[in-house]
Amino acid sequence: MKSYKVEGLIYYSKLTLDSKHILNDSQAEVQTKLDEYAQQGYRLASTNTVSFGSAIYIYLFFEKDVD
């Protein structure tokens, strides 16, 4: 049997000349979430992103085996 968790992160676009500002701003937080769930025995199973207005939603799907 498996246990699943979903983590949602939201990042807002801002006026800047840096076209990769969301990527740069999100990397540290995403890495923190990956480390946090890995310590609990979860592994990253899938990801998804959705753009809505000026926001980007990042979904991280984790799973682990449960006995």
Domains in the chain: boundaries: 2-65
User: Tens-digit pLDDT profile for the chain (67 aa)?
Assistant: 999 999 999 998 878 777 787 888 889 999 999 999 999 999 999 999 999 988 999 999 999 999 7
Which residue has tokens 């500002």? 21
Asked if 62 and 3 touch (Cβ cutoff 8 Å), the reply is no
Whether the CB-CB separation of 11 and 29 falls below 8 Å is answered with no
Please give the order of strands across the beta sheet that includes 55-65: 2-12, 55-65, 43-52
**What is the pTM assigned to this prediction?**
0.83
